[in-house]
Amino acid sequence: MAYFIIMRLTYALALLLAVLFTVFALLHMTGDPASLMLSRNASPEDIEALREELGFNRNLLVQFGDFLYNAANGDFGNSFRYRQPAMQLVLQRLPATVELASAALILAVIIGVGIGVLGGTNPNTFIDALARGIGLLGQTIPSFWMGIVLVFVFSFTLGWFPSFGRETFAVLGLTLPNSSIVLPAFTLSLFGMGQLARFTRAAVLEVMGEEHVTTANSKGLKKIRIYTRYIFKNAAIPLVSIIGVQFSYLLSGSIYIETIFSWPGVGGLLAEAVSVRDFFLVQSIAFFTSIAVINLHLLSDIIYMLVDPRIRYR
Amino acid sequence: MQINKAEISETILCGLKEYVNTKKSIEPKNLWRLLIKDKSGLIGLILFLIFVFAAIFAPILSPHDPLEQNLHVSRQPPVWSEGGNIEHILGTDSLGRDILSRILYGSRVSVLVGFLGVSLAFSLGMTIGLIAGYKGGIIDDVIMTLTNMVMALPYLVFVIFVAAVLGRSLINVILIFGFTNIPIFVRVTRGEVLRIREAGYIEAAKSIGQKTPAIIMRHIMPNLLGPLITLATFEMSAMILYEAGLGFLGLSVPPYVPSWGNMLSEGRQHLRHYPWMSIYPGLAIVLSGFGMNLLGDWLRDVLDPRMRRSKK
C-alpha cells in the first residue's frame, strides 16, 4: 500500500512539472508574450519596453530557469490589471469558488444519487424513465445556457432569487452566503447530478442482479435490510471515485457559472483575465487549478483504495 | 509435425468462425430495421440530420443575410409574441440582424468545428493508439504515460488558456479541439487493439504468414471502427458544446461571425428585456447535443455486437 501511494505521488509530481513546462511553452513559444499582453494596436515601442521590463528579451533557457525558480517560490508574476501578485489574487478568490463548488457537489450528490437509486430499484417504471431523462438532460444541456434560462425565470420573471453577486450573512461567527448562492449552485450541480444519476442507476441495477442479493431474497430477509446492507453498500464503491472526479468538473464549470452570476471566485477571475489579456493571471489560474485537480485525483485514488479491499491487497 | 499442422488448422478454423461472426454484425438492411425499432436512436438521427442539413443549406434556408444590420427592426420579438413580425420568425438582435438566419449560419461553425476537430483527433489518435497497442513495450509505456498526463489536466482551463494565447479564429478552434482530443482516441484504440490482438482470427492470420500491415488493415481496423465511430459521435457533441462555451467567453470565432456561442454571449447582455436573443441560440445547442448523444447511445448498442447480444 505504501508502494502504491509513493508511486502515485511520484506520478503527481511529474505531472506538475509537465504542467509547468506546458504553461511556459505555450506562453513563450507561440509568439511574443509581450505583444500578446498588450492590445493589438500597441506601438512597437510599447511592446519593446514591456519586453525589456519583463525580461522577455533574454535567452529562452534562462527564462525557463527563472520561471521554474519563481514558480517554486510561488511567484507567478504580477497581474497587470490589479497590480498585485497573481497567485495572491487567486488565493483571495478561492474561498468563494470552494463554497460554490461544495454547495453544488452536495446538491448533485443528494439529488443525483437519490434519483439514481429510485430509478435503479424500480427498473422500467415511470420513475426509472424520469431518472434516465434527468440524467441525459443534465449531461447535454450546457450550464452556460441553463444559467441564463434560470436567471430569466427565477430572477427576472418570478423575482425569487438575486440574479448576480454573492451576499452573505453572519451566524454564530460564520459568514454564510444567503439565497444568492441557490441559482449558481443549482446550475453548477446539474452536470454532475445527471452523471451521478446515470452511474448510480447502473451500479444499483448491476448489484441487484448479483447472486448474493438473490440469496438474501430467497432467505426471506426484509427488503429494507437487503437494500441497505447488500445493495447500497456495494453500489457506493464506484461512486466514491466518480465524486472525486466530479469536483474537478465543478472547478471547470465554475468558469461559466461565475461569469453569468458575477460570483467573486476563481472561475470568474479567469474569464475576466482572459478578456483583458492579463496573461500572468491566466497562467497562475491554469497552474493553480491543475494542482488542485491533480491532488483531487490523488485523493480520490487513495480513498478508493481504502474503501475497496480488492485494490488494497493487490 | 503432424500434430502441429492439425493444431494450426484448428486455430485457423476457430479464427475464421470468429471473424465471420463479427463481420455479420453490420449490414445496411439490419441497421435500418434496428433503427426503426429504437425510437430514441431514430430521434437522435433525425436531429443530427436536421443539424447537418441546416449547415449545408444555410444560404438557401435563411430568410435574411445573417450579417445584414437594420436598426429599424432591431430587438423585435419572435413572431408569436406581441409585436412580432413574420419577417423575422425568431426575432432580431440589438443590431436588427435576423436571429433565425444567424442560428442557421451558426450551425456551420459548429459542424465545421465538430467534424474537422473529430477527424483530426480520430485519425491521429487512432494511428498513435494502434502503434501503442500493437507494438507494446516501451513505446506503449511512453505513449500511455503522456496520454494519461494530458487527460489528467483540467481540460477547460487549458483550452481557455490556449485559445487566449492563440487568438480568435476558426482554424485555431479546430486545431485546439482536434489536438486536445487525441488522447481519448488513443486510449480507446489501444484498449480495443489489446483485446483484438488476442483473438483467434489474428493468431490464425499470423500463422498463415500474413504481414503486420495486412493484419492491421484487414483484421484490426474494421473491428476498431465500431467503438471509434461511437466515440466520435460523443466527442463531436462535446466539441460543439465546448466551442459554444468558448464563444460564450469571447474566445472562439471572431465576434462578427455568426456562431451559437457568440450569439449567446451577445444575447446574455440583453437578457432581462430581450430574452429571445439568447434563448433560441441556446436551444439550438441543446437540441444538436441531445441528438448526437441519443445517436451515440444507439450506435454503441448497434455497432458493438456484444452489447446487442446481451440486449436480446
- pLDDT for A221-250, tens place per residue? 777 777 777 777 777 777 776 777 777 788
- From chain A, the residues in CB contact with B250 under 8 A are 274-275
Strand A168-171 to A174-177 pairing: antiparallel
Angle at A155 between CA A168 and CA A275, to 5 degrees: 75
**Region label for B169, one of left (φ > 0), alpha (ψ between -120 and 50) or beta (otherwise):** beta
**Overall average pLDDT of the B211-239 stretch:** 88
- Residue B89 phi, psi dihedral angles, 5° rounding: -60, -45
Answer whether residue B10 shows pLDDT above 70.
no
- From chain A, the residues in CB contact with B286 under 8 A are 140-142, 145
A81: closest CA of chain B, how far (Å): 16
**What confidence score (pLDDT) does residue A15 get?**
81
B42 CB near a chain A CB, below 8 Å?
no
Burial of B71 (0-12, 13-18, 19+ CB in 10 A): exposed
**What confidence score (pLDDT) does residue B11 get?**
60
- Residues A66-92: b if buried by 16+ CB within 10 A, e if exposed: ebeeebeeebbbbbbeeeebbbbbbee
**Overall average pLDDT of the A203-211 stretch:** 78
Nearest to A274 among B249, B264, B275 (CB): B249
- From chain A, the residues in CB contact with B268 under 8 A are 148, 260
C-alpha–C-alpha distance, residues A13 and A1, integer Å? 19
**Overall average pLDDT of the A133-149 stretch:** 86
A230: closest CA of chain B, how far (Å): 25
Number of residues that this document lists for chain B: 312
- From chain A, the residues in CB contact with B298 under 8 A are none
Longest Cα pair distance anywhere in chain A, in angstroms?
85
**Overall average pLDDT of the A123-152 stretch:** 85
- pLDDT for A72-124, tens place per residue? 887 888 887 788 888 888 888 888 898 899 899 999 989 988 888 888 888 78
Number of residues that this document lists for chain A: 314
Amino acid (1-letter code) at residue B293: N
**For chain A, what percent of residues have pLDDT higher than 70?**
92
By mean pLDDT, which of B12-26, B45-59, B69-83, B88-102 is the weakest?
B12-26
The residues that bridge with B254 in the sheet, in sequence order, are: none
**For chain B, what percent of residues have pLDDT higher than 70?**
87
Q: How many CB pairs under 8 A join A and B?
A: 113
**Overall average pLDDT of the A117-138 stretch:** 83
Q: Give Cα separations from B16 to A138, B20, B199, B201, B217 (angstroms).
A: 44, 6, 11, 6, 16
- From chain B, the residues in CB contact with A27 under 8 A are 165
Question: Residue B306 — pLDDT band, cuts 50, 70, 90?
Answer: low
Amino acid (1-letter code) at residue A177: P
Which of B248, B263, B276 would you mutate first to test chain A, the one with the most A CBs within 10 A? B248
Is residue B288 within 8 A of residue B51, CB to CB? The reply is yes
Q: Are B165 and A18 within 8 A, CB to CB?
A: no
Question: Residue B185 — pLDDT band, cuts 50, 70, 90?
Answer: very high
A51: closest CA of chain B, how far (Å): 16
The residues that bridge with A85 in the sheet, in sequence order, are: A78
Question: Residue B21 — pLDDT band, cuts 50, 70, 90?
Answer: low
> Model pTM?
0.83
Nearest to B245 among A256, A270, A290 (CB): A256
By mean pLDDT, which of A262-266, B37-41, B145-149 is the weakest?
B37-41
- From chain A, the residues in CB contact with B293 under 8 A are 136, 139-140
C-alpha–C-alpha distance, residues A289 and B154, integer Å? 7
Q: Are B249 and A259 within 8 A, CB to CB?
A: yes
Question: Which residues neighbour B211 within 8 Å (Cβ) at sequence distance 6 or greater?
Answer: none
Q: Are B271 and A275 within 8 A, CB to CB?
A: no
**What confidence score (pLDDT) does residue B2 get?**
46
Q: Are A142 and B286 within 8 A, CB to CB?
A: yes
- pLDDT for B110-162, tens place per residue? 999 999 999 999 999 999 999 998 888 899 989 988 888 787 777 888 888 88
Is residue B301 within 8 A of residue B226, CB to CB? The reply is no
Burial of B216 (0-12, 13-18, 19+ CB in 10 A): middle
Question: Residue B84 — pLDDT band, cuts 50, 70, 90?
Answer: confident
**What confidence score (pLDDT) does residue B311 get?**
40
Nearest to A274 among B158, B237, B251 (CB): B251
Mean pLDDT, all residues of chain B: 83
Q: Are A286 and B158 within 8 A, CB to CB?
A: yes
The residues that bridge with A168 in the sheet, in sequence order, are: A177
Query: Does the interface predicted TM-score (ipTM) exceed 0.85?
Result: no
- From chain B, the residues in CB contact with A18 under 8 A are 149
Q: Are A286 and B157 within 8 A, CB to CB?
A: yes
C-alpha–C-alpha distance, residues A185 and A232, integer Å? 27
Question: Which stretches does DSSP call E strand in chain A?
Answer: 168-171, 174-177
Closest CA to A275 of B170, B168, B267, B260: B168
Radius of gyration for the alpha carbons in chain B, expressed in angstroms and rounded: 24
**What confidence score (pLDDT) does residue B310 get?**
43
In chain A, whose CA is at the least distance from the CA of B242? A142
B151 CB near a chain A CB, below 8 Å?
no
Burial of B154 (0-12, 13-18, 19+ CB in 10 A): buried
The x, y and z cell numbers of residue B158, run together, are 487549458
Amino acid (1-letter code) at residue A64: F
Judged by DSSP in three states, A176 sits in strand
**What confidence score (pLDDT) does residue B155 get?**
84
By mean pLDDT, which of A149-158, A212-221, B228-237 is the weakest?
A212-221
**Overall average pLDDT of the A35-46 stretch:** 73
Q: Are B165 and A26 within 8 A, CB to CB?
A: yes
Mean pLDDT, all residues of chain A: 80
Other beta carbons within 10 Å of A165: 11
